[in-house]
Amino acid sequence: MKLVAITVVFIVVLFVVAYTVLAERRILGFIQGRLGPNRVGYGGVLQPFADLLKFILKEDIVPDKSTRFIYFLAPVIATMAALMTMIVYPFGPETTIPFINKTIPLVVARFDVGLLYVLGITSIGVYGIALAGWSSNNKYSLMGGLRSSAQMISYELALGMSLIGVLLLSGTLDLAAIVGLQSRWHGSSWFIFAQPLGFIIYLIAAIAETNRVPFDLPEAETELVAGFHTEYSAMKFALFFLAEYINMFTVSMLATTLFLGGWNVPFADALFGRGTFLFGLISVLGFLAKVIFFLFLYIWLRATLPRFRFDQLMSFGWKFLLPAAILNILLTATLIVVGVYGYFGY
């Protein structure tokens, strides 16, 4: 049963990721006054499959002087670490499935320490990039790998710290319980209203953590060719590409779960009643819509913002974002002790 659930979640994730890539290319095209890929299938809907076919059929080049074993291992680590976090997110409430009349929770695995699991697995993902850069035996790869790891380690701190405000309010690390706490007031007591500063810090740190524009220093084309994956081709390159987009998906899901109420759609329970199939369906769609909003935000930022310089990036992370996150913790703790949050019902 669990294996079926894991398979279904992985397939859905890979499907969404494939279409995120297509959406990114189309939206970037429209923002830049061109059409983007629209030839394969109706309006380009089959483009991801054409890309996949191309990745499989391309020649797989391995550099002569590379450290073979690690060179092969790196994309595997990156993809595995990205995929493994998928199982803890609750994407819907307990729902009764029609016809078979069974009530199932719409989450693959419910952990007591779900949030720590996500942070732990994310920190493993650094190895994929660092090892890829080192094993390629190429100076651009090494520079990209080092930059990327330094950046991910630095912003991981601010990312973790920005979540502590939510933890202080919820008192649990269980993601399903955190979502449950946000279903008061007919599903609109989202933690973003209680933690606006924490949300903004999380969003910035998350974009840096996934190495996306404006923090895409590791693959700054003008300086480093393509960063850590310069020497990777064919399916191994595709795995890194996949890992990057799955990571985007992961941090979007985490933002939705912790700050935007998870699967809670305001006033859906008044319309359909809790536990019904329709309520479950609306909730899952609401969850997906929020995640897709974040993915769109990523694409929008990529089309809008120029890149940071590396020293700016580091001093921003350590000297501004981390102190701001610590300030947010102090502020939240003070407001809880004073009783402001209690007054507003959090």
Shorter beta-carbon distance to another protein: residue 127 or 272: 127
Dmax (CA) of the chain: 66
Shorter beta-carbon distance to another protein: residue 148 or 256: 148
Q: Provide the 10 A C-beta neighbour count for residue 272.
A: 17
For tokens 């394969």, the residue is: 40
CB of 308 to another protein, least distance (A): 15
State the amino acid at position 74 in one-letter form. Answer: A
CB of 14 to another protein, least distance (A): 24
Task: Provide the binding-site residues for another protein, judged by CB under 8 A.
Answer: 67, 69-70, 73, 111-113, 116-117, 119-121, 123-124, 126-127, 130-131, 134, 142, 146, 149, 153, 173
For tokens 């997906």, the residue is: 288
Shorter beta-carbon distance to another protein: residue 94 or 174: 174
DSSP string, 209-260: HTT-TTS-GGG-HHHHTTGGGTT--HHHHHHHHHHHHHHHHHHHHHHHHHTS
CB of 175 to another protein, least distance (A): 13
CB of 102 to another protein, least distance (A): 23
CB of 288 to another protein, least distance (A): 27
How far is residue 243's CA from residue 238's CA, in Å, rounded to a whole number? Answer: 8
Shorter beta-carbon distance to another protein: residue 82 or 142: 142
Shorter beta-carbon distance to another protein: residue 52 or 116: 116
CB of 123 to another protein, least distance (A): 3
- Residues making up the chain, counted from first to last: 346
Nearest residue to 217 via CA among 329, 316, 87 = 316
Shorter beta-carbon distance to another protein: residue 169 or 299: 169
Q: What are the backbone angles phi and psi of residue 331, rounded to the nearest 5°?
A: -60, -45
Six-digit token string for 80: 């595995």
Helix, strand, coil shares, percent, the chain, to 5 = 70, 0, 25
